[in-house]
Structure 1
Amino acid sequence: TEANRIIPTCPPAELPKEPESVYRALRYGTAKFLQQCGIKRMTVGLSGGIDSAVTAVMYADILGPENILLLNLPSRFNSAATRNSAQQLAQALGANYAVMPISESYELTVKQLEETPITHLADGSSFNLQLSGLIKENIQARDRGARVIAAASAAFGGAFSCNSNKAELAIGYATFYGDICGAMAMIGDLWKHQVYALGRYLNELIYKREVIPEAIFNIRPSAELSDAQTVGNGGDPLVYGYHDYLLRAFIENWHKTTPADILRWYKAGTLAAELGCTQEAINEACPDAAALIADLERWWNLFAGFAVAKRIQAPPILSLTKRAFGYDHREAQLTPYFSREYYELKEELLK
């Protein structure tokens, strides 16, 4: 009867939307993981970029800033802008913070490798190793992760974080035993645009102040590992407004998108709609068909090739989607494959 009807005290709660749902899931999952592992302190390499900034702020929210150690590890390639942003963030959090330059140790490693003769014991001949630019970049990443951050974490207690996002993991844009090591990749199931959105949410609704400096949102993403790869020159090789969505289609679509699908959609003029990105982002990354094909093959070969080996050895990823790397996205180390239809479409478009 009307008298016995139960009147709800509040309307049914709406399902949370991004980035709120992302924040709640990350916070809950990370807190449970740390609790189960007995981790009460966390060390984070703080570069001055958005990925490490969001990771640091999330850990401070979960464990308290007094239990967070933030380390800025500059070489001569790191800009004053990113160093200043890292310090501003650490100060806004009230966390433990230190600057530990790696230039001296990096230069010593390069000198050891290039100037120490290698002897071929069968005939007594010798030669010296020659280090490419990429090798020198990777030395810096390993010096930060495997040497300084890992050792500092052991001394501080607890564990240290992997700051890689899903786009970087998808193409292997990380260094073995460098920036792809740690106890957990908290944001490893977030695309770059989701990391930015989460950063805004943390400032505006969780901390209600600017803990992540505005400069971090505006600066060009870069690993800052060489003169050709800085925030003012070069930057990351990905145009995230397009590549986030391209890579997501390879992984998260129920029927995983293939390179042939991409060319078919491009030919039909529906690529932006199919991927969910803007046409402007596609044009920025790939101004014509030849550029789009070269770009597609570059990232597909990495995604389905050597990046798999890196993902197999990556830290555990906090899963938010049905296709997180690890158990959810099943994969094997097979040769990247392009179908006959792909080559036919490629030939047609290049004409």
Structure 2
Amino acid sequence: EGLSIEEALTPFLLPAGSETIRTGVLLCEDSWDENYSLSPMSILAKKDISLFLNLSASPFTLGKNEKRHRMLGDALSKLRIPMIYVNQRGLQNNGKTCYTFDGMTAAYDKEGTLIAEARPYEEPRCLFLFDRASENLMSEKPMAPFQGSMLLPALRYGVRKFLSAIHVDKVVIGVSGGIDSAVNAALYRSVLPKDHLLLVNTPTRFNSEMTKDLARKLSDHLESPYLTIPIGSFIDETARALEGLPVGKGKIHLTGFMKENMQARDRSSRILSALSAAFGGIFTCNANKTEMTVGYGTLYGDLAGALAATADLWKYQIYELGRALNEWYGQEVIPEGIFTVKPSAELSESQDVTKGLGDPLIYEYHDYLLKSFVEPWQRNTPEDILAWYREGTLEEHLGCSVKVKDLFPTHAAFIQDLERWWNLFAGFAVAKRIQAPPLIAISRRPYGYDLRESQVSPYYTDRYLEMKRSMVEVVKGSEV
């Protein structure tokens, strides 16, 4: 129409009895103008409006609401105009990533103070009163701003809406006595009747009596049906059938690592899938984001399932969610022993939890290292990590509490660890993530449609390789 944006942005006249209220209508990101050269709010504020209305379709991520309150509060305090912010409620599923919308409508006065906020994911409608004379905005009923973590409300809503969307109300979960499966069991039980959740323990000789006992206690606390199905004979039978088969000039030999993966695949594709069909429901993937990032899971095994509800949570967030679930239930449904036992897949003697053995990941450090590869706006690479390590500022940049030098005695050991996980993250783990079930988005960069990936080779910059050479030299077989 030949209009500038400043000319096109005009007030909307909202009917109010026999009169009208001049409002500035903003669509979602119009208010997030900190990094834009154009500010729709500032333009509309100059056109004699009395009230802002932000109509939003903003998917929930942890920390976003707090940032929005800070940003809008600062902007409104300068413009001296109140605002009603309206967010949609629901679940959108693009086939790979499920986004929840919290419906947390909020009201701000002309000083930018948050004066009312709807409860997350709840249906009651909100009514606001606006006094034209004083331009005061208030809620009809008290709506105290939400306090506390949004993690559990978002996941409970996401699981409930996902199950409803696929018309499923029964779920089978493999429980090992570890934290990931326990948290998933407690999460699904929080939205399902007790007899609609079937918990299954599938031990081999590598599973300790301690973890088997913890799995049983979990099921007792959740009051859901529980099955124990030993799978050692299945694995041994398959191994005997394959071992020594002639292939060309050689013979098939199954290593211990191969037999570990056979256990994981038999648990999911053989036992849980059959039980879920007989039970009339689905079975779950209990993976976390740390495991998904490096592919620490078996393709067609523990990475199978209809939904990976917790796959956007780092390991430390899994523990936080477990504590939040116990608080929600008002009792210790997840036994304390599950929080304290060493995380382990229990697939071999080298993962014996009774001896303090378990996963190869040092979660207190690797959670934060791997997070830095994925979630910052400017994603970090080995070059960044090695530079910070050399400067002695790595812990500060990652936000971890452990001292890296206490974990790795030499530069070579640190670099070897860094490259191990980077090669997995940027290598075959991509294929596993592509084939993994859909997840519920919690972070600002979940895997799936938010972080688009393709299968390429891991790469290292020239600067990284130069730093590596300068830090690690081999002289007569010893590092200096």
Q: Deviations over 1:172-216 (max 9, x none)?
A: 001111000000100000000000011011112x11111000000
For normalisation by structure 1, the TM-score amounts to: 0.93
RMSD of Structure 2 on Structure 1 (CA): 1.8
Rounded to whole Å, the distance in 1 between the matches of 2:254 and 2:134 is: 83
Provide the residue aligned with 1:23 in structure 2: 152
- Whether the 8 Å contact between 1:165 and 1:189 is mirrored in structure 2 is yes
**Aligned residue in 2 for 1:56:** 185
More helix, by proportion: 1
Number of aligned positions between the proteins: 340
- Please name the residue that 1:285 is paired with: 407
Which residue matches 1:137?
A: 260
Distance 1:107 1:341, change over 3 A: same
Give the TM-score of the pair, scaled to structure 2.
0.68
Per-residue CA deviation, residues 71-119 of structure 1 (Å, 9 max, x unaligned), is 000000000110000000000010010100001111101111115x336
Relative to 1, partners in 2 of residues 1:317 and 1:3: Cα closer, same or farther, differing over 3 Å? Answer: closer
Give 2:211's match in structure 1, choosing from 51, 65, 82.
82
How far 1:64 moved relative to its partner?
A: 2.0
Match of 2:423 in 1: 301
Q: Could you tell me which residue of structure 2 aligns to residue 315 of structure 1?
A: 437
1:138-180, Cα deviation, whole Å (9 max, x unpaired): 0100110000010001000110000000000000001111000
Aligned partner of 2:246 in structure 1 is 118
Q: Retained in 2: the 8 A contact 1:223–1:230? A: no
SS state at 1:70 partner: strand
Match of 1:202 in 2: 325
Q: For residue 217 of structure 1, what is the amino acid of its counterpart?
A: F
**Greater percentage in strand:** 2
Work out whether 1:106 is the aligned partner of 2:238: no
The amino acid across from 1:285 in the alignment is L
Separation in 2, partners of 1:156, 1:73:
17
Q: List alignment gaps of at least 5 residues for structure 1.
A: 121-125
Cα pair distance change 1:6/1:332, threshold 3 Å = closer
* 1:228 correspondence with 2:350: yes
Listed as ranges, the gaps of 5+ residues in structure 2 are 1-130, 473-479
What is the SS of the residue equivalent to 1:315? Answer: coil
Q: How is 1:179-194 mapped onto 2 (pairs within 5 angstroms)?
A: 179-194=302-317
Q: Based on CA coordinates, which of the two structures has the bigger radius of gyration?
A: 2
Task: Check if 1:37 corresponds to 2:166.
Answer: yes
Picking from 294, 300, 315, the partner of 1:171 is: 294
* 1:264 corresponds to which of 353, 378, 387: 387
Higher RCO (Cα < 8 Å, 6 or more apart): 1
Going from structure 1 to structure 2, the CA distance change for 1:196 and 1:128 (only over 3 Å counts) comes to same
The one-letter amino acid of 2:460's match is F
CA apart distance, 1:4 = 9.8
- 1:343 & 1:69 partners in 2: Cα distance? 51
User: Distance in 1 between the 2:333 and 2:457 partners?
Assistant: 44
